[in-house]
Amino acid sequence: MAGWAARLYEPVLGRLLEGVRRTALALSLPHSGMTVIDVGCGAGAMLARYAAAGCRVVGLDASPDMLFEARRRLGPGTWLAIGEAAALPFAADTADLVTATMLLHTLPEEGRPATLAGMARVAGSRGRVLIADYGPDRAPGLGARLARCAAAAIEGLAGHGSGVRSLRAAGGVAGLATAAGMVVESEAAAAGGAIAVVLLRPAAPPNR
């Protein structure tokens, strides 16, 4: 992402995501001392909320310009790394919470299972994975339809329209969780029902 686009992301799109972030925080309440890794951290707005609650925070993004903005927001003491979501440079079982907000639909369809599996690996047996992204079109009503239309228009302009459609067709995050060895612990809707916020935990091992 170009420098000017990175600078404008939070003033423009960040405002649209405020409700999504509030929903995500409510689904996995931060507490002092927990370790949070945000994959596709962007300008660091989500990490800043966890850091303010006393969490140890780590951010990963593929864009140096976004990481520059995140560094400005979070300060020099935060570990921010450049890298790809499908190849997380973190050891297994090292985070209490691994998050990704509006990331999966931007990735190639074939790379999404590996990304979720990598997040599950980093969270380990006791951690959780928190994803906010497009889910199946389930919410009824005019407001929900308008929200979906607005989201489709924004993502179409960003060149992610096909990614949104393929993620929805796969059943959203919940539909991809099984292949990553995870199950849905809790779920909430945001942005008028256009966005699903999903908290995942490791699937129970099969009975022997």
Nearest of 139, 137, 127, 124 to residue 175 by alpha carbon? 137
Backbone torsions φ then ψ of 49, nearest 5 degrees: -70, -40
Report pLDDT for 92: 97
Where are the extended beta strands (E) located within 78-190? Answer: 79-82, 97-101, 128-134, 182-190
Among residues 93, 92, 129, 91, the alpha carbon closest in space to that of 112 is found at 129
Given a contact cutoff of 8 angstroms between Cβ atoms, the answer to whether 135 and 50 are in contact is no
d(C-alpha 161, C-alpha 109), whole Å = 12
The two tokens of residue 185 are 């612990």
Q: What is the CATH number of domain 3-200?
A: 3.40.50.150
List per-residue pLDDT tens for the chain, 208 residues long: 556 566 666 766 667 788 899 999 999 999 999 999 999 999 999 999 999 999 999 999 999 999 999 999 999 989 999 999 999 999 999 999 999 999 999 999 999 999 999 999 999 999 999 999 988 765 555 555 555 565 665 565 556 678 888 898 888 999 999 888 999 999 998 888 888 999 999 997 655 4
